[in-house]
Structure formats: structure tokens, C-alpha cells
Amino acid sequence: MKISKRRMFLKLLRLWLWSIIKRGWYLPEISEITVDEVYDRLNSNSLPILLDLRDLVEFYGDGEYKYEKYGHIPNSKWIRLMELSSHFEDLQEFKDKEIVTICQGGGMSLVAVEIMIEADFQDVKSLKGGIKQWHKKGYPLIKTTEAELPIEEIKLGSFDEGSKKIEEIPPLDKKYRGEVHHTVDARGLSCPQPVLKSKKILKTLNVGQVLEILTTDPGSRRDIPAWARVTGQELLVSEEHGSQGFRFLVKRMK
């Protein structure tokens, strides 16, 4: 069973709405497991399959920002959230086993649980609070470079890209001289607000027009390009301006 990127995006959007409005009907009843429960089982034969859904730099713990430096829980396997459904065949051997999905704060892992349940995985739970809560508790985390961690130890993930750790974000583009038709000032806002505000304004633009997005949330460095990609828009510019934050130009394509 495969789930399209459009359907995946709609599920993520539903989670964002749920996190803002705090209403239970946006997500079905999904099982969660606490970091304490997982830690207690860390060195036992009852340890569930741990699926880390973050970007690879976060898994390795060698990213630029604080939340990218935590590393991963021992014995966990990596697979990027947006590619989860395309790896269901690789996950068949775990279909009847207990699986725990892991993300940064415990939100995106809820979406992963819902997707896997729809694909007939029997026992899937979300790690409550994610890696952030695990780190807060002081539980062990592994930081490893790509050279130190053999591919065989992970078994899952997009390693056909060779040495690339994450999908490249378009470089600083100072040559763009086209017209900017609207600016979204999301500085000071955290996920998911920059994406939600951008999505709302983009709908008001005509095809071919350009939206400028200004943010200070480090997570937008990943979220805005991902949002543009899964919705079929063109990311023209991705810039970082130190303490002033980030600037993106997104061209509406459809």
C-alpha cells in the first residue's frame, strides 16, 4: 500500500490544525508510549522496533541547530517521514511486531501511526514528547557520523542518494529579480504557523505569482521547502540571514 504525497500532506495539515485548535476529532484515537516505558525496555528482549522519522542530520546529531544535535535512541532505525509509505515493503518483516514511531516533539509521529494502521500494521505507537522529551529526561542518545554508522545497521532510508544526507535546499539566490506579489511575515512564529499562513496566502495568488516568506523559526528551513515540494510549487529562493532569520520565495505553479 502506498500513500501519495498529496495525501501525506493533507494528513500533516490535519495534525497542524489539531495542534492549534486542540480538538480531539481531528485525529482518531492513536496509541502513545512514554519515554519512560521505552527506556525501561531499552536493554530487554521486549524492546519495540524504533522508527526515527526525522531528517538524517537530526538522526546523526550533526545538524546546525540545537534540536538537530540530540542524536538518536539506541537501536532505532531511520526512515524519513515523507518516504514512509514507499518503504512499506521493507517494513513487512515488522508488520506483526510492536513499532514505535519517533519524531522531534511527538506530533508527526502521530501521523505516521495513522498511516501505518491504515496499511494494516498491527501494533504501532507514537513516542509521546518525541526526542525532545527523551533528551529532557537525560536518557541515552547516540551521535554518529555517516562514516561511523554502516548502512547495514540502519537497513531503512534513502541511501540510494549516495553520500547526501538530506535533500539539498536550493542555495542562496541573489540573482532573482522577479516581482514579489505578496509577503508573509511569520517572524517570531513557530511551527506550524509559518506554513499555515503561507498556504492561506498562496491560495489568493494567481498561478505564476511569487510569495515571499520571512521566518525566524529554524524548523522553517526544512518545513517551507518540504511544503512547497509536496504541494507542487516551485521554491525559487532559500536564504539564511543570521539573526534576522530566513527568507523564501515560492512561485505558485498550480
> Where in the sequence numbering do the catalytic residues fall?
191
Going from the C-alpha of 26 to that of each of 9, 76, 156, 174, 232, the distances in angstroms are 14, 29, 30, 41, 25
**Residue 36's Cα: distance from chain center in Å?**
23
Question: What does the DSSP assignment read for the chain?
Answer: ----HHHHHHHHHHHHHHHHH--GGGS----EE-HHHHHHTTTSTTPPEEEE-S-HHHHHT--SSGGGSS-B-TT-EE--GGGTGGGTTTTGGGTTSEEEEE-SSSSHHHHHHHHHHHTT-SEEEEETTHHHHHHHTT---B---TTTS-HHHH--S-GGGTT--SPPPPPP-TT--SPP-EEEEETT--TTHHHHHHHHHHTTSPTT-EEEEEE--TTHHHHHHHHHHHTT-EEEEEEE-GGG-EEEEEE---
Q: Residue 12: which of 134, 191, 237, 143 has the closest Cα?
A: 191
Q: Phi/psi at 55 (nearest 5 deg)? A: -70, 160
